[in-house]
Amino acid sequence: MTRSRLIGAALEAEWLKFRSALVPRVATAALVLGIAALSSSFALVAGQPESLMAAKLNALVVGTGWTALVSLASQITAVGGLLGFGVVLAWLFGREFADGVIAGLFALPVRRGTTAAAKLLVYAGWALALSAALVGVILGIGLALGFGAPTSADAGSMARLFVIALLTAGLALPAALVATIARGYLAPIGSVIALVAIAQIAVVLGAGGWFPWAAPGLWAGLSGVDATSRVTLLQLLLVVPVAAASVALTTRAWARLQL
């Protein structure tokens, strides 16, 4: 079998496992429907200034209508999305170890590094589709709530939501390496939770813009409009080396796996 056919076979096998499993389905529902439900309910409450809950949401909600809805969705994605993407990566790369079937991969003609690359390609495709679906659902909810046709500024905010979802998916990639090294689910999930906590500390210390796991959240508006405008393109692009290093180290670790 040629190399291209081996890669295709690995990709087909990983996609079949991914689409049949419960974990990716639950994560997809939580990330798309959960974020949409939270952001729309918060936006509706914020539109009622006399309510006590609206006063509590003042620190998070910017504007009303489309502005509030998309801003809230972006903020929730930047924080909650990291955990959701991390759980899927923990399952993708820790499942064979936790289920005790990793030895079966050594009997296949496909190299373990190729298997890891196939897993990452499946994850990338899923993250891209999920990000687009999230924007589509938010758009549908806004129209259903009577916010009217989105303006060019609203369209720009939705594009930002799409980018934030992709950045968050990239920032979760270290979980794949941790799952490989720890050979299970729990350590990668714990590592993602730790990154969320460290990101909060970095923001408090004023260094959040240069901490890759905090920059998308600041850009989404978690620390107010002023903080959003101070986040630079260079700071957001720090996600790229994080994701690239995670991909390279994970595929290398899988290529060198030993029983």
pLDDT of residue 53: 65
* pLDDT bucket at 42, cuts 50 / 70 / 90: confident
Decide if 191 contacts 200 (C-beta within 8 A): no
pLDDT of residue 230: 87
- Please determine, for residue 259, whether its predicted confidence score (pLDDT) is greater than 80: no
Average pLDDT over residues 232-258: 95
pLDDT of residue 1: 62
Of 27, 32, 132, 13, whose CA–CA distance to 88 is shortest? Answer: 27
Which tokens go with 186?
């729990």
- Please determine, for residue 43, whether its predicted confidence score (pLDDT) is greater than 70: yes
Q: Write the pLDDT tens digit of every residue in 136-189.
A: 999 999 999 998 899 999 999 999 999 999 999 999 999 999 999 999 989 999
Decide if 158 contacts 138 (C-beta within 8 A): yes
Half-sphere exposure in the Cβ direction for 143 (13 Å, CA): 10
What are the residue ranges spanned by the domains of the chain? Answer: 3-256
User: What radius of gyration, in Å, describes the C-alpha atoms of the chain?
Assistant: 20
Decide if 185 contacts 90 (C-beta within 8 A): yes
pTM for the full predicted model: 0.92
